[in-house]
Amino acid sequence: MLDTDRLLEIGERGIHLLFDADTIHTAFEQDAERLRVELAGRVAEVHGAIDQVVRLQSLDEARLFIADLAPAVRHVLVLLYFELLDGRLRTHAPLH
């Protein structure tokens, strides 16, 4: 299984091992409302993709799996990853 905590720890340093720069850029270009509508009846598909990614044995397998997902599902995975990363960064941020 992929070590998701380690992926997020590395992500805190700006290294995003599951997604290339083009995939990230494309995901952030998407209209959030359009994605929500497109995936409204496909929540199980998104959850299944997340479950599958974390069960894969290597980053290469995960990248290939993600690349084969429907574009909207792939975009949501990227956005969810960055949402998790943002929450983690906020939790670890020094308080002034």
How would DSSP label each residue in 7-44?
Answer: HHHHHTTT--TTS-HHHHHHHHHS-HHHHHHHTTT-HH
Distances (CA, A) of 5 to 8, 10, 54: 5, 9, 11
Residues 56-85: tens digit of each pLDDT: 999 999 999 999 999 999 999 999 999 999
Quick one: tokens of 77? 């995975």
Look up the pTM and report it: 0.89
> d(Cα 54, Cα 49) in Å, to the nearest integer?
9
Residues 26-43: tens digit of each pLDDT: 999 999 899 989 999 999
Residue ranges per domain, the chain? 4-92
> d(Cα 73, Cα 56) in Å, to the nearest integer?
17
- pLDDT higher than threshold 80 for residue 95: no
- Burial label for 11, CB within 10 Å (0-12, 13-18, 19+), is buried
- pLDDT higher than threshold 90 for residue 12: yes
